[in-house]
Amino acid sequence: MALTPRRRVPPAPPGKSSRTGWQDSHFRCYRNGSLGCAGRFGSLKCPRQEPGPGLACPADRRVQFRPFHYLCTTLYGTMVSLEKISVSFGGFELLREISLLVGPRDRIGLTGRNGSGKTTLLRIIAGLASPSSGKVSAPRELVIGYLPQQMEVADLRTVWQETESAFDHILTLRDEIGTLQQEISGRHDFHSGDYLRLLEEVHEKNDRYLLLGGNNCEADIEQALTGLGFERSDFSRNTSEFSGGWRMRIELAKLLLRKPDLLLLDEPTNHLDIESIQWLEDYLKFFRGSVILVSHDRAFLDNVTTRTVEISLGRISDQKMNYTAFRRWKEEQRAQQLAAYRNQQKMIADTERFIERFRYKATKAVQVQSRIKSLEKIDRLEIEPEDNQAVLIRFTQVPRSGNVVLEARDIGKCYGELEVLKGVDLSVARGEKIAFVGRNGEGKTTLARILMQEIGFSGSLQIGHNVRIGYFAQNQADLLDPGLTVLETIDRVAAGEIRTRIRDMLGAFLFSGEEVDKKVSVLSGGERSRLAMISLLLEPVNFLILDEPTNHLDMQSKDILKQALVNFDGTVLVVSHDRDFLDGLVTCVYEFRNKKIRQHLGGIYDFLRKKKLDSLRELEKRSSAQRAAQELRDSPGDSASQEVSFEMRKEINRVISRTEKKIAGIEEGITRMEVQLAEMDQLLADSSRITSGGFFTDYEQLKGALALALEEWEKEHLELEKWKEKKNW
């Protein structure tokens, strides 16, 4: 479920339409950027008393403000504008006069092969890099959240403490409120100027605290962490106990909790299992801001994005459609461009032949001159060069291994008191291509490392005759020397006759020409992964163990690697969640669940059919209730012909009716509390009428109760909308 539910829209004031945007939300003073608290009619008192471009409220001298995303739509039109951006490194031009507009609520998928400039463009938008030329424009109030592919993370706190740092500004504000309340409780000069000043200050800080969601911090943290795959028992564990992928999830949770206006996500799914990817998809669908994401997961792009921007050969193609539709569109466009280009070239060639034939013939002089002038006026078409550098990889002839590659019996592994694997049996025959699938933390990587004999274990493991193992770890790319060039990196690991084929191998993985002289430090994450893969393949091995090999690889590189593995004569074991990559590659699937593994013969789709699943996501289901909910979620909402059982219809109608009644009851309570607050606000206008010492405590408690009621209303309304979407008959 998304962390940012829709806001409750209260009734409009007299004379105003409910469609004019009156709502409780986050508001800003446009002139000085300060935040304030929206009241029942969305009004805000500017702390500096400087009226912004809003509507004057007739009841008092406050100013009406619009939410920030409304500001971007009406005043700015876009959230970010790039005008003729160019980026050059030495003599190489990475981006050429790119122009791009990012609007409110855009869902943009940024695609292109590794090294095409996707990460560079994100860094420019985030303000972390500057273009060689061009202009970047954005509103001053815009808050941007950026998740890079790789980042340095500290390991000094627990998971909860580290995630809670996303709310440092709120926690500081809470401490300030507590200090002020303590000071107020010790004073008795109720009518003095200092006392009233303290009341006003604590009132404003408390409004800001509630506006920023201070009462919901802990619930939001728990929701984010559990959604990204953490167990509640993990909250108190130190971050140093987790792998780099899990620590990246903590950074993603912190970023999402800050709720920026624009999210920039660079390969966010690389370290997520299927369940966490689904949670992130749902979150991004309901996210109130804009999203630009780089991903090479086709299903993730299609489910989240509604606009595709592809970087190819330094230029961009921008279309409002998901990635699959974009690929179809681009193929059609290229076919049309090629046809028009060929027709024009034929016409130009015919005209030039006529000119050459009759150039010196007096009777044709007028026609020749006319043809020359018409040729000069032609607006010549240019066809985009095809970005197609894929080359079929030919592996080195591998030595033949024995018929039995490995035999494992009663394998077990514990980390302290945590038991990961128990009683695992595994047998791999020569030439097999198998996959390990399952949730993160079930022991897939642990078993792969046991097979490499990198870690201790219980049980027995026998490696077959003449078996030579090549291992690609999840962090293999991080082990490269950043001070070496691409060519130097490969030259150091190559030995024997294969040294004469270094450049051929580099070209097969899209390193050609001057790219081989690039330093490893300037390579993108995908380029580093490709380089690490080349290092593995240079030495002849007959058993490949690949742990998440497609992380950071673009779609073209994944297709190249997949085809290479299909043609590989040896044995392959792949740990992956990428269904498209596994399809047509593996012939046996091992499912990891409850410390055990279970073998399923056949390809990945054979495995899914046997399990009566539609996708790998359903491997992650934990209860029958979740399975039923997933069936409803996966059923197409726009397919009126989809058959829904009678019992399912009854259950959906029952839940909708129950939720509507609950929402009505909450709204009645909200109305009562708003009336009480209005009466207390009148008393606050004349402090001499306040006789009870507990008035302010009651006032703050009532405001807190109202905030909780509004939050509950938001969640129930969001749940109601989801159930109504499932009612497709």
In tens, the pLDDT along 456-472 reads 899 999 999 989 888 88
In angstroms, the CA 128 to CA 697 distance is 46
Q: Quick check: 612 pLDDT over 70?
A: no
Residue 509 sits in the same domain as residue 605:
yes
Domain boundaries, position 560: 404-621
> In the structure, what pLDDT confidence band is assigned to residue 571 with cuts at 50, 70 and 90?
very high
The count of residues in the chain is 729
Q: In this predicted structure, what is the pLDDT of residue 397?
A: 67
Does residue 235 form part of some domain?
Answer: no
Q: In this predicted structure, what is the pLDDT of residue 282?
A: 84
Q: In this predicted structure, what is the pLDDT of residue 1?
A: 33
In the three-class reduction of DSSP (H, G, I as helix; E, B as strand; rest coil), residue 98 is classed as strand
- Which phi and psi angles does 718 have, rounded to 5°? -65, -40
What long-range pairs does 73-77 form, CB within 8 A, spacing at least 24?
Answer: 73/103, 73/104, 75/30, 76/139, 77/103
The answer to whether the beta carbons of residues 229 and 249 sit under 8 Å apart is yes
Q: Quick check: 108 pLDDT over 90?
A: yes
Residue 598 sits in the same domain as residue 721:
no
In angstroms, the CA 510 to CA 521 distance is 17
Residue 673 sits in the same domain as residue 561:
no
Average pLDDT over every residue of 589-616: 77
Residue 559 sits in the same domain as residue 425:
yes
Residue 410 belongs to what H/E stretch? strand 404-415
Q: Quick check: 434 pLDDT over 80?
A: yes
15: alpha, beta or left? (left if phi > 0; alpha if psi -120 to 50)? left
> In the structure, what pLDDT confidence band is assigned to residue 308 with cuts at 50, 70 and 90?
very high
In angstroms, the CA 176 to CA 206 distance is 10
Q: In this predicted structure, what is the pLDDT of residue 425?
A: 92
Which residues, 6+ apart, have CB-to-CB distance to 52 below 8 Å? 29, 30, 31, 46, 63, 65
In angstroms, the CA 303 to CA 282 distance is 9
Which residues, 6+ apart, have CB-to-CB distance to 59 below 8 Å? none
E-only strand ranges, 151-303? 262-266, 290-294
Last residue of a domain, one of 621, 656, 687: 621
Amino acid at 604: I
510 DSSP 8-state letter: T
> CA torsion sign, 551 to 556 to 562 to 568?
negative
Neighbours of 676 (CB within 10 A): 15
Q: In this predicted structure, what is the pLDDT of residue 243?
A: 66
Which residues, 6+ apart, have CB-to-CB distance to 290 below 8 Å? 79, 102, 103, 104, 105, 106, 107, 108, 261, 262, 263
Residue 460 sits in the same domain as residue 533:
yes
Lowest mean pLDDT among 101-105, 421-425, 634-638: 634-638
Does residue 23 form part of some domain?
Answer: no
Lowest mean pLDDT among 532-536, 539-543, 622-626, 710-714: 622-626
> In the structure, what pLDDT confidence band is assigned to residue 608 with cuts at 50, 70 and 90?
low
Average pLDDT over every residue of 576-600: 86
Lowest mean pLDDT among 110-124, 194-208, 333-347, 636-650: 636-650
In the three-class reduction of DSSP (H, G, I as helix; E, B as strand; rest coil), residue 492 is classed as helix
Residue 533 sits in the same domain as residue 413:
yes
Residue 600 sits in the same domain as residue 684:
no
The answer to whether the beta carbons of residues 402 and 393 sit under 8 Å apart is no
75 DSSP 8-state letter: I
Which residues, 6+ apart, have CB-to-CB distance to 645 below 8 Å? none
Q: What Å distances lie between residue 295 and 268, 300, 475, 554, CA to CA?
A: 7, 8, 18, 8
The answer to whether the beta carbons of residues 243 and 158 sit under 8 Å apart is no
Report strand pairing: 418-429 vs 404-415.
Answer: antiparallel
In the three-class reduction of DSSP (H, G, I as helix; E, B as strand; rest coil), residue 154 is classed as coil
Query: How many Å separate Cα 559 from the centre of its chain?
Result: 22
CATH code of residue 546: 3.40.50.300
> How does DSSP assign 294-337, residue by residue?
E---HHHHHHH-SEEEEEETTEEEEESS-HHHHHHHHHHHHHHH
Task: Summarize pLDDT for 8-57 with one digit per residue, the tens.
Answer: 333 434 443 333 333 333 333 333 333 333 332 233 333 333 333 333 33
Q: In this predicted structure, what is the pLDDT of residue 139?
A: 87
The answer to whether the beta carbons of residues 273 and 252 sit under 8 Å apart is no
Does residue 266 form part of some domain?
Answer: no
- Which phi and psi angles does 515 have, rounded to 5°? -65, -25
240 DSSP 8-state letter: G
Question: First-to-last CA distance in the chain?
Answer: 24
Neighbours of 516 (CB within 10 A): 17
Question: To 5 degrees, how large is the angle CA 349–CA 352–CA 357?
Answer: 125
Residue 580 sits in the same domain as residue 662:
no
Which residues, 6+ apart, have CB-to-CB distance to 586 below 8 Å? 433, 434, 435, 572, 574, 603, 604
Does residue 59 form part of some domain?
Answer: no
Lowest mean pLDDT among 10-24, 149-163, 185-199: 10-24
> CA torsion sign, 612 to 618 to 621 to 626?
negative
In the three-class reduction of DSSP (H, G, I as helix; E, B as strand; rest coil), residue 107 is classed as strand
Last residue of a domain, one of 582, 604, 621: 621
Last residue of a domain, one of 621, 656, 683: 621
Does residue 347 form part of some domain?
Answer: no
In angstroms, the CA 262 to CA 319 distance is 19
In angstroms, the CA 298 to CA 456 distance is 38
pTM value surpassing 0.75 = no
Residue 476 sits in the same domain as residue 597:
yes
Q: Quick check: 635 pLDDT over 70?
A: no
Residue 611 sits in the same domain as residue 708:
no
Report strand pairing: 315-319 vs 307-312.
Answer: antiparallel
Let me know how many helices (H) and strands (E) the chain has, helices first.
21, 22
Does residue 149 form part of some domain?
Answer: no
Joined tokens for residue 638: 């726009």
Neighbours of 246 (CB within 10 A): 18
Q: In this predicted structure, what is the pLDDT of residue 428?
A: 92
Residue 536 sits in the same domain as residue 660:
no
In angstroms, the CA 441 to CA 444 distance is 8
115: alpha, beta or left? (left if phi > 0; alpha if psi -120 to 50)? left
In angstroms, the CA 31 to CA 35 distance is 11
**Count of structural domains, the chain:** 2
Listed in sequence order, the DSSP H helices in 412-523 are 444-451, 486-493, 502-508
Nearest to 575 by CA among 444, 408, 455: 444
Does residue 454 form part of some domain?
Answer: yes
Residue 651 sits in the same domain as residue 579:
no
Most confident stretch, 62-66, 358-362, 616-620, 669-673? 669-673
What percent of the chain clears pLDDT 70, i.e. is strictly above it?
77
Query: How many Å separate Cα 199 from the centre of its chain?
Result: 43
Does residue 90 form part of some domain?
Answer: no
Nearest to 269 by CA among 579, 613, 591: 579
Joined tokens for residue 92: 């190489």
